[in-house]
Each structure stands twice: as C-alpha cells, then as structure tokens.
Amino acid sequence: MPKSIVGGNWKMNTTLQEAVSLTGLLKDNLKVSQQEGVVLCPPFVYLSAVKDILRGSEIRLGAQDVYFQPKGAFTGEISVGMLKDIGCDYVIIGHSERRQIFKEDNDMVNKKLKSSLQGGVSCIFCVGETLEQRQENLTEKTIRQQIEAGLDEVPSDRYNQIVIAYEPVWAIGTGKNATPEQAQEVHSFIRKLLTHLSNEIVAREMTIIYGGSVTADNIQSLMEGNDINGALVGGASLSADSFTKIVNIIKNSRP
Ligand code: PGA
C-alpha cells in the first residue's frame, strides 16, 4: 500500500510572521501519527525558519523548486545540496506554474529530478494537462510524455523517492477540481504507465497524489479513488484550519 502524502504548496505567499505562525499551528493541531507524510513547502527564504519550528515533529520540509547544477554562477538559483543542508526532505519539480510561466520543459524537469534524487532529496513530480489538451482528448498522451521524459534515465530503484502529483492545469487555483472519477481515471493510467516503466511491485507502492483546488469539502470524495494516495494543496494549505481538516480526512480515509 503506498504511503499517503499531503503537501502544502504555499507558492509565493505569506510573510515571515505568517509562515512561522502557520507552521506553529499545524505542529500543534496535528498529532504525531497524523504528521507523518505531511510536507510543508514554504517559499525558499522561509525554509530555515519553518524548519526550526518543525524540530521535534514528524512534519517534513519541502522546497518549491531547485536548480540542477551543484554550484556556480547561476544567479538567483538554489541547488539540491543547499536544500539538503537546511533540512529539506522534499522538493516540488515540474509544477505547472514553473512549466507555463517560467517555460520549464520536460528536459529541464528531468535534469532537476535526476539531480534531486542524486542529492538525496525526494521529489514531488508534477504532471497535468491543460484544458485544451483535455478537450482534444490528449490527456493521456500529455501525461505519458511528461512522465516518460521526466523519468528518463532515472533507475526504477529510485522510484521510491518519487511522489507523482497529478495536477490538471485547469483545476489549479480555479476552484474547479477534477471529479473523483476524472482524477481516478488519470491516476490509474499513471500507475499502469509506472508499471510499464518499472514493474508491478514498484508501481503498486508508489504514492500518486492529486492537486488542483483541493479543499476540506472535496477531499473526502477524491480519496475514494483507489489510486489516489493524498493531495498537493495550494490555496487551502494557507489556512491552518482547512489544511488540518484536509490532512485528517486523508489520514482517516486509509487504514
Ligand atoms: P490549488 O493549487 O490547491 O490552489 O489549486 C494546487 C497546486 O498548485 O499545487
């Protein structure tokens, strides 16, 4: 059975004070057993402050992006070693906002994935189709290309360090989540694809999470999908109350 993962992707939000207070509330709200598999992804500049508060808790720290080179003249970028150094266990790679706004292609995503795994930081690897691609029946083709290219040259014995996040672009920040059926359909497709790329035992254990307008009101039904092992939450992760509810629902929906 795959481990359930709930990520809070804060994106470019919060002040330092808000980041500190949100983290403190989550640490207090969630019991230790509920904290397992919870990953907070604040902006880079607040990672250390959040890490300090998380000491003594099971909640994990994640970054929202990384650059694939180990060091050097790459103004503005952050390496895997730096993330590791300040205590990040996870990094989000290939988020649709990075792909769309910052023009990251599958090749860049692949380089980032490989260097993160090499550096011992687990990846939350995001894939998802646009509305046009869905309307043109290109959902599976798009996801297949993103996953095959993203995982190119990644040995399958590293797959246990990868969480796949299915985030349909049309559902992100729009308030229009995928229906549980739509999500399960793609998650099951992803698991089949992973079986093909590795084997059944590896693919069966991989965590595949859904993202895109997840709220405390819709997560219960989304979790009914057999291949939905958690969520990557944007907007609703900025409130301790709603993120706590989402974590609790996810934790209670699995034995
Ligand atoms: P959202 O964002 O929950 O605000 O739709 C999800 C994400 O982008 O990871």
Give 201-254 as a DSSP string: HHHHH-EEEEESS--TTTHHHHTTSTT--EEEESGGGGSHHHHHHHHHHHHHT-
pLDDT at residue 255 tops 90? no
Q: What is the predicted pLDDT for the residue at 40? A: 98
pLDDT at residue 197 tops 80? yes
- pLDDT tens digits for range 224-236: 999 999 999 999 9
CATH code, 68-237: 3.20.20.70
Tokens describing residue 155: 């040995």
Q: Which residue out of 95, 101, 214, 242 has the highest number of ligand 1 atoms within 8 Å of its CB and is therefore the one to mutate?
A: 214
pLDDT at residue 254 tops 90? no
Portion of the chain with pLDDT greater than 70, in percent? 99
Determine if residue 42 is left, alpha or beta; phi over 0 gives left, psi from -120 to 50 gives alpha, anything else beta: beta
Contacts (Cβ under 8 Å, ≥6 apart) of 34: 247, 248, 251
Does ligand 1 lie within 6 Å of residue 237's CB atom?
no
- Sign of the four-CA dihedral 5, 145, 84, 100: negative
Q: What is the predicted pLDDT for the residue at 107? A: 98
User: 196 pLDDT band (50/70/90 cuts)?
Assistant: very high
- Sign of the four-CA dihedral 158, 116, 161, 153: negative
167 is catalytic: yes
Q: What is the predicted pLDDT for the residue at 33? A: 87
Does ligand 1 lie within 6 Å of residue 214's CB atom?
yes
d(CA 120, CA 110) in angstroms, rounded, equals 15
Q: What is the mean pLDDT of residues 122-141?
A: 97
Q: Which H/E stretch holds residue 232?
A: strand 230-233
95 is catalytic: yes
Residue nearest to atom 1 of ligand 1 (CA): 234
pLDDT at residue 83 tops 90? yes
- pLDDT tens digits for range 144-165: 999 999 999 999 999 999 999 9
Q: 126 CA to middle of ligand 1, Å? A: 11
Q: 238 CA to middle of ligand 1, Å? A: 11
Q: What is the mean pLDDT of residues 210-222?
A: 97
Q: What is the predicted pLDDT for the residue at 112? A: 98
Please tell me the total number of residues recorded for the chain in this structure.
255
Spans of all domains in the chain: 9-64, 68-237
Q: What is the mean pLDDT of residues 128-136?
A: 96
Please state the φ and ψ torsions of residue 223, each to the nearest 5 degrees: -70, -10
Does ligand 1 lie within 6 Å of residue 227's CB atom?
no
Q: What is the predicted pLDDT for the residue at 132? A: 96
Q: What is the mean pLDDT of residues 179-187?
A: 97
Does ligand 1 lie within 6 Å of residue 173's CB atom?
yes
Pick the closest to residue 80 from 65, 95, 94 (CA basis).
65
The secondary structure of residue 161, as a DSSP letter, is G
3-state secondary structure of 245: helix
